[in-house]
Structure 1
């Protein structure tokens, strides 16, 4: 039982909750997910089953896209609506902020930049997640890290009940925290801000319209999607046999990791060019059915 499940995660459940439900549904323990979604967030959650769990890191590192709503004027300790309020701006301060100011400040986030993740993120510090340390009463400060935000589009700016709500779409690199964008936008405008809604619509190469509920989801064979994740090399029968025994074959024309498929388009292995006995060869780094 190897393949992927594309789940449209519902709110009020953790990514691990989804994994647990799928393990029960498929009666297997070998299930993992690519890219954690907070309980309040919904949308694309990619699950790997069987050997596909070994392919998840390559998906996790890919591009992401989100729809998000930011509330300006209030800060919370989690940078989202589930946290305790730590600051509330005066109504007069909010009234003085124009749509143009919001647009200009959001534009400054685009490009290669540094971002400080939320202190309640899933990032591990000495083997323990940051959010677990915060819950235990520790004061956690995570160092800034490099990210890339390809695009931020403003969909709508509304001002209900003396508040400002900014709906945006974001396309970004892995490791980007949308909660941190909400926090930092509020800081730059000096009124505070936090995230009140988040929906992920892309975990490259998988899109939201491919996703289903846990109950309706069906296992997608690796061979059906592998070419969207890796460059492909088709093997003949003798090459497939060599790889199945963990042996090397002649090098691939292109560098980097690539997927090998057999003449029936079944996934065989991940290969990478390596120097062996002064000769460059294509060596398996993951072989289906090998237990690696």
Structure 2
């Protein structure tokens, strides 16, 4: 029998404005400690040197993480033109350079090929698995390997500022699994000048925005106090992109036990995924069929 995990049974979302120089996992550990939470996880990794919104799920909210990772997210980043690095960001070694510098119009014209349904090859220094090994481990060992291209939906990619001849600021809205470093690398290749990410910030992710996030200093100041609890957002925010059905009180127990039960739904199609709420609180997520919700995830009433 495994050891029972210590901590508070606390559920919801705490939004962090992650600083550079720390891993996403370290941020989650900090939040778990500050709230003395039994369970915590994040909705979408940020590279250690990246900043911006990192949504930390607590307790039952961890069951809604997939709906945030699948949601659109937006990044603001600076591309250093004229240099390619082995990591596709400023942390790596320069492996190619060019004196060519594109005009603003050339950059804007090139961005179009990275919008819509595209195929993208992740950076070699990434957590992608190759025959069971992380790509970054193989790259560090100077192993030769290829990463297959994978699909990515890019909603928008625009130039927001030309800082100087060597630097351009871009903003991108994309779906799940996008690598900004790959966009910078591939844009540089398309422009014939090379490129890598110099600065990267995630400005929003699903319903969460960086400007609403707490800094690590603020979390430290409020750690293990009721003041920090006041910043926890309801777990239901993680279900904002799903339609909601009303759960009658008599259906709640059946749903929480994993059984289909009647719900009141309006405008929800047969077989569509939705969530059921009782008095505004999430009871279960599942498929709506013939007036019943067939649950795939259930939430403990706390």
Q: TM-score, normalised by structure 2?
A: 0.85
Structure 1 residue 62: Cα displacement: 0.9
Aligned residues: 277
Q: Secondary structure at the match of 1:241?
A: helix
Residue by residue, what CA displacement relative to the aligned partner does 1:246-265 show, whole Å, maximum 9, x if unpaired?
221137542322111112x1
Q: 1:145 to 1:237 in 2, by over 3 A?
A: same
Structure 1 residue 284: Cα displacement: 1.5
Match of 1:23 among 5, 28, 32: 32
Give the alignment of 1:25-104 within 5 angstroms: 25-89=34-98, 91=99, 93-94=100-101, 97-104=102-109
Q: 1:126 to 1:27 in 2, by over 3 A?
A: farther
Tell me if the contact between 2:28 and 2:56 (Cα under 8 Å) persists in the aligned partners: yes
Give the alignment of 1:229-240 within 5 angstroms: 229-240=241-252
Confirm whether residue 269 of structure 1 aligns to residue 284 of structure 2.
Answer: yes
Q: 1:170 to 1:24 in 2, by over 3 A?
A: same
Q: 1:132 to 1:19 in 2, by over 3 A?
A: farther
Structure 1 residue 72: Cα displacement: 0.6
Q: Which residue of 2 is the match for residue 257 of structure 1?
A: 273
Q: Which residue of 2 is the match for residue 109 of structure 1?
A: 114
Q: TM-score, normalised by structure 1?
A: 0.88
Q: 1:129 to 1:28 in 2, by over 3 A?
A: farther
Match of 1:10 among 19, 25, 31: 19
Q: 1:226 to 1:165 in 2, by over 3 A?
A: closer
RMSD over aligned CA atoms reads 2.0
Tell me if the contact between 1:226 and 1:267 (Cα under 8 Å) persists in the aligned partners: no
Q: Which residue of 1 is the match for residue 126 of structure 2?
A: 121
Runs of 5+ in structure 1 lacking a partner?
none
Residue by residue, what CA displacement relative to the aligned partner does 1:87-126 show, whole Å, maximum 9, x if unpaired?
121x3x33xx322212211222112111111111222334
Runs of 5+ in structure 2 lacking a partner?
1-9, 223-227
